[in-house]
Structure 1
Amino acid sequence: MGTIADYLVGLEPDQRAALQHVVDVARRVAPDADEGTSYGMPALRLAGRPLLGITAAARHLSVFPFSPAVVEAVAPDLTGHSLSKGTIRFSVERPIPDEVLERVVTLRRAELEG
């Protein structure tokens, strides 16, 4: 198992499914990304650089695009979600829409490849 799979196996089934969906969407946009860690969390990486990290907490799930600019760019599409400088928080009941996830990965990929 890879880093992400190892992390997900320890989560509750609904959390695991929600975060696996995030990873699946990200892989569609960046099929060449590989698994690793960044800042101590499971992450997809491009050319050794962090693309998207994921974590689960007691009350929410998080996506880390490792870029305040990316979070800022998609913030208008995430009304009602908790955002911080480099984090998008969501829940099983209120996931991040696929089109927003795709945009997050596309924007972050452009930063890394730019």
Structure 2
Amino acid sequence: MTKNNPDVDNYIAGFPEETQKLLEQVRHEIRKAAPDAEEAIKYGIPTLILNGNLVHFAGYKNHIGFYPAPQGLEEFKEELSGYKGAKGSVQFPIDQPLPLDLIARITKYRIEKNLEKPETKVKKKEIQKSKKPSDKEQVSVHIQKLHAEIREAVETIRKIILNTDQEIAERIKWNNPSFYYTGEMKPFDPEGI
């Protein structure tokens, strides 16, 4: 299973002890049904994500809200008929036992549906971001575009700066090569000069 998300822990901790127990039961059942899903806070409530939003759950004064999207509720319409709800949500009263088996089955159904759809937009964005050249590659490309005489001078200066200390790195900043220190900064000691 993925690690618990501290934000979800904090969300649950904000409720009275009895409600916390119910939220943890729901969380445990969902995570057991979807061990590869990631936890996050979305729309202000705990969310499990697997190729897009899988299910959400939330605590309220008189009920635990469960949000598997309309698709998850339609399939289980008869079993959910004893509970209040809307198009994409169902309310489980806090004074009744939670239907944990039903929550697990709905979650598994949502997994099937999510895995049928193509990769989510978020993952496509992550792939695009991973193709971005490194800082060093960006500097090299920038320098290659310079006029030959300027390029030679810039390369010479670049080598001098980078050879000064192994903890100096480079990047493009303000449309030019820029250098910065990656090591630990030590306090200035005027007597050590």
Answer yes or no: same fold by TM over 0.5. Answer: yes
Unpaired runs of 5+ residues, structure 2, are: 117-193
Report the CA distance between 1:90 and its aligned residue: 0.8
* In 1: Cα distance, 2:66 partner to 2:97 partner: 11
In structure 2, the partner of 1:51 is 54
* In 2: Cα distance, 1:43 partner to 1:111 partner: 16
TM-score normalised to structure 1 length? 0.88
1:109 to 104, 111, 131: 111
1:30 to 7, 10, 34: 34
Asked if 1 retains the 8 angstrom alpha-carbon contact of 2:62 and 2:94, the reply is no
Q: Let me know the Cα RMSD of the aligned residues.
A: 1.5
* In 1: Cα distance, 2:55 partner to 2:97 partner: 16
Report the CA distance between 1:99 and its aligned residue: 1.9
Asked if 1 retains the 8 angstrom alpha-carbon contact of 2:59 and 2:65, the reply is yes
- After TM superposition, the structure 1 stretch with the greater mean CA deviation from structure 2, 33-42 or 84-93, is 33-42
Asked if 1 retains the 8 angstrom alpha-carbon contact of 2:12 and 2:20, the reply is yes
2:89 to 76, 87, 90: 87
In structure 2, the partner of 1:60 is 63
In structure 1, the partner of 2:19 is 15
Q: Percent identity?
A: 26
3-state SS of paired residue (1:61) = strand
TM-score normalised to structure 2 length? 0.54
The Cα offsets for residues 47-66 of structure 1, whole Å up to 9 and x where unpaired, read as 4x21121112222220111x
3-state SS of paired residue (2:77) = helix
Asked if 2 retains the 8 angstrom alpha-carbon contact of 1:78 and 1:96, the reply is no
Q: By percentage of residues, which structure has more strand?
A: 1
Report the CA distance between 1:97 and its aligned residue: 1.4
3-state SS of paired residue (2:76) = helix
1:71 to 48, 73, 89: 73
- After TM superposition, the structure 1 stretch with the greater mean CA deviation from structure 2, 95-104 or 10-19, is 95-104
Considering Cα pairs closer than 8 Å and 6+ residues apart, tell me whether 1 or 2 has the greater RCO. 1
In structure 1, the partner of 2:6 is 2
Structure index of larger Rg: 2
Unpaired runs of 5+ residues, structure 1, are: none
* In 1: Cα distance, 2:72 partner to 2:87 partner: 9
